[in-house]
Amino acid sequence: MAIPKFKPLANASESSKKVAKPVLMAVIAILAAAFGLESCNNDWDLGKLLSGSTPTEAKVLRDIDGNVVTTGGKATDEYNCDDFKTQDAAQKFFVKAGGPNDDVNGLDGDNNGVACQSLPKEK
């Protein structure tokens, strides 16, 4: 069975084909690399890689729930108010980690929806 030709490319001029083929191959390579990263469940910070960091340094850490770990390599349920400098930072984390319906960290001691009330507010 013959492989059918890509019609727009089959009718194009030779100069267009010379440009289009490498572009299509690059797109296929990028998609294959993205699929490979997705299938192995790894992420890297491209900014760090492009600035010269090693792949180990640029690897994005995730907790068991798939959330990006930004401080100290802790899992989502291992944080307490001492891990945050401001109440606003604690509140953002609190909401992302489940909020008042799922406060596995005990950040909202009085269950009023406000995490780490003793911390200072951002200026």
- Average pLDDT of the segment spanning 36-60: 81
Residues 6+ apart with CB under 8 A from 12: 20
Confirm whether 71 is domain-assigned.
no
Q: Is 46 exposed, middle or buried (0-12, 13-18, 19+ CB in 10 A)?
A: exposed
More confident residue, 60 or 118: 118
What is the pTM assigned to this prediction?
A: 0.43
pLDDT at 93: 86
Residue 117 lies in domain = 77-123
6 in any annotated domain: no
CA 15 to CA 19: how far, in whole Å? 7
- Please check whether residues 85 and 110 belong to one and the same domain: yes
Provide the mean pLDDT of the chain.
81
Tokens of 77: 């349920």
54 and 81 share a domain? no
Between 1 and 25, residue with greater pLDDT:
25
**67 inside domain:** no
- State the Rg of the chain over Cα: 24
Q: Which residue has the higher pLDDT, 43 or 54?
A: 54
SS (H, E, C) 86-122: CHHHHHHHHHHCCHHHHCCCCCCCCCCCCCCCCCCCC
- What three-state secondary structure class fits 59? strand
pLDDT digits over 76-116, tens only? 677 889 988 999 989 888 888 778 888 888 899 888 999 99
Q: Tell me, yes or no, whether 81 and 52 share the same domain.
A: no
